[in-house]
A and B are shown apart, each in its own frame.
Chain A
């Protein structure tokens, strides 16, 4: 599903006279079946932006179009289930949503709310737990006996189990070990290859460079940059404005260019970097 934000402004309920805007006149298009990364400093409005996609938040003004649904300030709270079934969301700290007495039941909770039969939900739970890299034996355990990283995987499985078309991930790998992170990111990429739309909020620029097709850069509730990772990481204005840091490979390339190397465009992934270096060494 294509997702379009049209002049969306969101003011968090102004109990506080000094409250600022969560989103400030945001217009952006998130392409269907692509892997889109959203980056920006803490408090820049990333979570606020994605909460609009499944109508957990509604625009104060403007509209959000998700497939054939339009969400505006007047959207009713009823009948949001079909939308939320299609748009799965893994929250910033998903482990705090676990509540059932076994992992299996917790994974089945979402699908069954969305009308899946118990058997289907059960088999989905078995598939998903393996997909997120946990052994089936965990299904019988209490989710509260797991480690933080395992809880996170269970929570991710719980969202994937409803088989959503669009998957929103709010810093899903924070707190995972490097190997676990790679596994989980690989899983998301695989899901995208199977035809889903992935929206990833992250502070990890290497993940952006390695996995994303498109990048949205946010700052102070506004969108300050858009494009492919290579375009965004080569945008002088964003870099000097401190709205963005570079992935490791690009930083390495920057250091190299102080020596005798020259890059027209900063390589952002390890592959690009090594190809460039090889070429330049052989070219000499």
Chain B
């Protein structure tokens, strides 16, 4: 997805590392001030990206049940000296509620930053970054280039397969298949008419790709020049410094 905000323009390697670093330091937060601070920072980053907040909220949706489950677990199973309410093993207390609120914010933070990464970085950029980050491993004969190629091909295939699946499902629906109707066995059976054509077309896509690569002279290995150049700029250094400053502030305001 094209875009021209600052976050889009950051070097993908930096963005990739910063995202993981940030997910790491989220676990340093342990009080209202530190969680609040991180939340403000993430919202500011979202603002800088100029992407509608709605897209981030959508990112939460698939995780909804997991979040709910974890939050409820924390809320009712945190042992406490002063329970507000008690029923068998279930305990509701102020501590429990606070902790579950923290957990909730932690989920939101992690999901928002990863959504920020995926919305502002193309899959290809991510795989290029991984290749570039793993480069030192070449010294121990780790096949970095090949792995990066596999990764980018796999990433390239995902949208293709999704497209293919929708097409095949439509074609079978038109032939009278009802997905998600009837008993369990019937439902499982209704996926056979999708899976077989999907396998067949994946193999043929893979085969075509192999032929296309070979006929354009692809040779695996060293010394391939890059089509997409990654460039580290001043703003990337600034972003890295900002992360260090944030870690500092976090260490100051968290409670020990």
Indicate, yes or no, whether A interacts with B: yes
Are A56 and B200 interface neighbours, CB within 8 A? Answer: no
Task: From A51, A81, A96, A97, give the contact of B178 (CB < 8 A).
Answer: A81
Are A54 and B174 interface neighbours, CB within 8 A? Answer: yes
Candidate in B51, B175, B193 with the most chain A CB atoms within 10 angstroms:
B175
Contacts A56-B170, A91-B170 given: A97-B176 contact, CB under 8 Å? no
Q: Please tell me if A114 contacts chain B, counting CB pairs below 8 Å.
A: yes
Bound Cα distance A162, B172 (Å)? 13
Distance in Å: Cβ of A50 to nearest Cβ of chain B: 11
Q: Given the complex, which residues of B lie within 8 Å of A114, measured CB to CB?
A: 176
Distance in Å: Cβ of B115 to nearest Cβ of chain A: 12
Q: Given the complex, which residues of A lie within 8 Å of B52, measured CB to CB?
A: 17
User: From residue 55 to 103 of chain A, which have CB atoms closer than 8 A to chain B?
Assistant: 56, 78, 80-81, 84-85, 88-89, 91, 93-94, 96-99
Which residue of A has the minimal Cβ distance to B166? A56
What sequence of 0s and 1s flags, for each residue 42-70 of chain B, a beta carbon within 8 Å of any chain A beta carbon? 00000000011001000000000000000
Which residue of A has the minimal Cβ distance to B180? A77
Q: Please tell me if A159 contacts chain B, counting CB pairs below 8 Å.
A: yes
Q: Please tell me if A144 contacts chain B, counting CB pairs below 8 Å.
A: yes
Q: Please tell me if B173 contacts chain A, counting CB pairs below 8 Å.
A: yes
Bound Cα distance A97, B181 (Å)? 20
Distance in Å: Cβ of A192 to nearest Cβ of chain B: 20
Which residue of A has the minimal Cβ distance to B204? A96
Bound Cα distance A109, B174 (Å)? 11
Q: Please tell me if A158 contacts chain B, counting CB pairs below 8 Å.
A: yes
Q: Please tell me if A113 contacts chain B, counting CB pairs below 8 Å.
A: yes
Q: Given the complex, which residues of B lie within 8 Å of A96, measured CB to CB?
A: 164, 167-168, 171, 197, 200-201
Are A99 and B175 interface neighbours, CB within 8 A? Answer: no
User: From residue 175 to 231 of chain B, which have CB atoms closer than 8 A to chain A?
Assistant: 175-178, 181, 192-193, 196-197, 200-201
Contacts A17-B52, A18-B1, A81-B178 given: A97-B197 contact, CB under 8 Å? yes
Bound Cα distance A269, B175 (Å)? 35
Q: Given the complex, which residues of A lie within 8 Å of B172, measured CB to CB?
A: 97
Q: Given the complex, which residues of A lie within 8 Å of B168, measured CB to CB?
A: 96-97
Are A56 and B192 interface neighbours, CB within 8 A? Answer: no
In the complex, how many residue pairs between chain A and chain B have their CB atoms under 8 Å apart?
A: 62
Bound Cα distance A113, B171 (Å)? 13
Contacts A18-B1, A81-B176, A84-B176 given: A109-B193 contact, CB under 8 Å? yes
Are B170 and A51 interface neighbours, CB within 8 A? Answer: yes
Q: Given the complex, which residues of B lie within 8 Å of A91, measured CB to CB?
A: 167, 170-171, 174
Distance in Å: Cβ of B207 to nearest Cβ of chain A: 13
Are B192 and A99 interface neighbours, CB within 8 A? Answer: yes
Distance in Å: Cβ of A165 to nearest Cβ of chain B: 14
Bound Cα distance A110, B171 (Å)? 10
Bound Cα distance A80, B206 (Å)? 35
Chain B interface size, under 10 / 10 to 19 / 20 to 34 / 35 or more: 20 to 34
Bound Cα distance A62, B172 (Å)? 26
Distance in Å: Cβ of A242 to nearest Cβ of chain B: 27
Q: Please tell me if A16 contacts chain B, counting CB pairs below 8 Å.
A: yes
Bound Cα distance A80, B51 (Å)? 38
Task: From B175, B181, B196, B200, give the contact of A110 (CB < 8 A).
Answer: B175
Bound Cα distance A93, B164 (Å)? 11
Task: From B51, B176, B196, B200, give the contact of A162 (CB < 8 A).
Answer: B176
Bound Cα distance A113, B172 (Å)? 10
Distance in Å: Cβ of A56 to nearest Cβ of chain B: 5
Bound Cα distance A159, B170 (Å)? 13
Which residue of A has the minimal Cβ distance to B201? A96
Bound Cα distance A85, B200 (Å)? 27
Which residue of B has the minimal Cβ distance to A101? B196
Distance in Å: Cβ of B85 to nearest Cβ of chain A: 42
Are A159 and B173 interface neighbours, CB within 8 A? Answer: no
Distance in Å: Cβ of A264 to nearest Cβ of chain B: 43
What sequence of 0s and 1s flags, for each residue 147-171 of chain B, a beta carbon within 8 Å of any chain A beta carbon? 0000000000000000010011011
Q: Given the complex, which residues of B lie within 8 Å of A94, measured CB to CB?
A: 171
Task: From A88, A99, A110, A162, give the contact of B197 (CB < 8 A).
Answer: A99
Distance in Å: Cβ of A42 to nearest Cβ of chain B: 15
Are B192 and A113 interface neighbours, CB within 8 A? Answer: no
Q: Given the complex, which residues of A lie within 8 Å of B176, measured CB to CB?
A: 81, 84-85, 110, 113-114, 162
Are A98 and B175 interface neighbours, CB within 8 A? Answer: no
Distance in Å: Cβ of A109 to nearest Cβ of chain B: 6
List 18 additional contacts besides A88-B174, A159-B174; criterion CB under 8 Å: A51-B170, A80-B173, A81-B176, A81-B178, A89-B174, A91-B171, A91-B174, A93-B167, A96-B167, A96-B168, A96-B197, A96-B200, A97-B197, A99-B192, A99-B197, A110-B176, A113-B177, A162-B175
Can you list 7 contacts pairing A with B, beta carbon distance less than 8 Å?
A17-B51, A56-B170, A81-B176, A89-B171, A96-B197, A96-B201, A162-B175
Q: Which 6 A-B pairs have the closest CB atoms?
A: A113-B176, A97-B171, A99-B196, A110-B175, A89-B174, A114-B176
